[in-house]
Amino acid sequence: MKRLLLIAGLLTASLTTIRAQETAKAAPHIYNPQADAQQDIKNAVAKARKEGKHVLLQLGGNWCIWCIRFNTLTTTDSTLSQLLRRNYEVVHVNYSPENKNEATLAQLGYPQRFGFPVFVVLDEKGNRIHTQNSAYLEEGKGHSPKLVAEFLTHWSPAATNPKTYAGQR
């Protein structure tokens, strides 16, 4: 009987280890620890300037389930995906033990104080115009499509352009 329990225990432990390894292999790799965040941002700002967009910096890491959930939502929800494509150049800025991008985060006003993911909106000149604590976009075990859409809309180039409001009372 002891032998049977020992075999069952070892079998269970082996299956658990295999499943954990499969999950780790299947985990998305959205953030690149080797990326040059400063250069990626500079490139995004140049492209945004040409296309009349803003830059959305999505700061986080592959270790962060909320970061993965946000990225999944914004790439699979057609409304959010369209809002992003139309209004933003998106840059994923890594934060992990391999690369914390400390100089970049310092230049951005230490957005990591809000936890991860955290979003920083830059205008077409590269000026930081907003830092968004993602906790305000959460709903249940993910992010609210409605709240995310409002955030993306409220910080779009049209929404931050004074000409949009000329003549309004």
Helices then strands, counting H and E runs in the chain, come out as 7, 6
Q: What pLDDT score was predicted for residue 105?
A: 98
Q: Which numeric CATH code is attached to 37-161? A: 3.40.30.10
Q: What pLDDT score was predicted for residue 88?
A: 99
Could you list the pLDDT tens digit for every one of the 169 residues in the chain? 666 655 655 566 555 555 544 444 567 899 999 999 999 999 999 999 999 999 999 999 999 999 999 999 999 999 999 999 999 999 999 999 999 999 999 999 999 999 999 999 999 999 999 999 999 999 999 999 999 999 999 999 999 999 999 887 6
* Region label for 107, one of left (φ > 0), alpha (ψ between -120 and 50) or beta (otherwise): alpha
Are 93 and 122 within 8 A, CB to CB? Answer: no
The pTM assigned to this predicted structure is 0.83
Selection from 67, 65, 66, 57 nearest residue 35 by Cα: 57
Domain ranges of the chain: 37-161
Name, in order, each residue with C-beta under 8 angstroms of 158's C-beta and a sequence gap of 6 or more: 87, 164
